[in-house]
Structure 1
Amino acid sequence: MFLDTQVPSGARACVRKLKAVLTDPATDLVRIQVTFTSPSGDRASGCTKESPSTAQVRLPEPLGDRDVIVDNYTHFTADGAEPPALRLCGNLGCTPAATGCTAASYDQALMAVGAPRHTYRNSEQCDGKWLVLDFSWRTGPACGDSTDPACTSRLGDRWFFRAKKSGWEPIIRTSAGGCGDVQRKEPAFPPPLCESLAPLPSSLHPTYPPPSPSASPDSSG
Structure 2
Amino acid sequence: MNSRREVSISKCLQGFFSEEGTLSKSLPSYEFRPEQLAMATAVARAIETERILLLEAGTGVGKSLAYLAPAIIHAIQEEKHIYIGTGTKTLQHQLMEKELPFLKRYLESSFSYALCVGSENYVCERRLGGGAFPGQEDLFPNPDEISQLRAWAQTCRQGLRSELDFPCSPQTWHQICRVPELCAGQKCPKGGDCFYQRARARIARATVRVGNHHLLFADLQSDWEYLPPRIS
TM-score by length of 1: 0.29
Q: Which has the larger radius of gyration?
A: 1
Higher strand share: 1
TM-score by length of 2: 0.28
Higher helix share: 2
